[in-house]
A and B are shown apart, each in its own frame.
Chain A
Amino acid sequence: GQQLNQSPQSMFIQEGEDVSMNCTSSSIFNTWLWYKQDPGEGPVLLIALYKAGELTSNGRLTAQFGITRKDSFLNISASIPSDVGIYFCAGQLDTNAGKSTFGDGTTLTVKP
C-alpha cells in the first residue's frame, strides 16, 4: 500500500523559533491533511490542502501541497509552549473513499 515518510521524527526547539516538517510519498495524493495530537487525545485537524501547489495558512501555521502531489510541508512560526504535541500528515488518493494514509508523526517539544 501507499506509505508516507514524515520527517523529522522529533524536534526540540526553543520558544519563539520557527518549525518546519514535511511528508513525502512514492505515489501521488489528491488531498493532504495535517493534524495535531495532544498526549492521550485524538488528532485535531489543522489544515487541509486540495490542490497541487496550494499554500494555506491557519494563524501561525502554513502548509503547502507539493507541485508533484507527492509531498507536503507544515511550518509553524514563532512557536509557543502549547505547540507541543505530535503532528501527523495524512494523504488521500480518492476524496470519496474516506481512506487516509498517515505518516508516523513528528513529536515537537518546545522549551520555554
Chain B
Amino acid sequence: DGGITQSPKYLFRKEGQNVTLSCEQNLNHDAMYWYRQDPGQGLRLIYYSQIVNDFQKGDIAEGYSVSREKKESFPLTVTSAQKNPTAFYLCASSTPDGYNEQFFGPGTRLTVL
C-alpha cells in the first residue's frame, strides 16, 4: 500500500537534546512538507521541499533543520535552539502538478521534558 509513514508515534526527549523525526513516502511524490500543530491551533509550515536536494523555510523554521537526500525521505531535526519544541509534528507530500492536494502521515507527538 502506498502512503506516508512517520516514526516514532511518540517521542520523549530531555531539554537541550537534538531529535530527528522520520518521514518516508512511497507515493513517488516530488514535494514534501513538515508542519507543527499545537492544541487548538491549525497547522503551521516549518519547511518544505519541492525536489531532491532542495528545500525552503516555511513560516516557523527557526530551531529546525531538514535534509532531502532522497525523494522518499524528508527527516526533520528539532534542535536545542527551538524554544518550545513540544508539539504534534505532521509530514505531508504532494505532486506539484498544479493541484497541491497534500497527503498527511499519522504524525509524531514530541514531548520535551
Residues of A within 8 A of B (CB): 1, 4, 6, 31, 33, 35, 40-45, 48, 50, 88, 90, 92, 95-100, 102-105
Contacts and interface: CB of A to CB of B under 8 A. Distances in A.
Majority-rule SS of A interface residues: loop
Contacts of A105: 40-42
A42 B100 contact: no
A99 B45 contact: yes
Interface in B70-113: 90, 92, 94, 96, 98-107, 109
Highest count of chain A CB atoms <10 Å: which of B44, B94, B101, B107: B101
A97 B31 CA distance: 10
A4 B42 CA distance: 10
Contact of A50 (B99, B104, B107): B99
A86 to B, nearest CB: 9
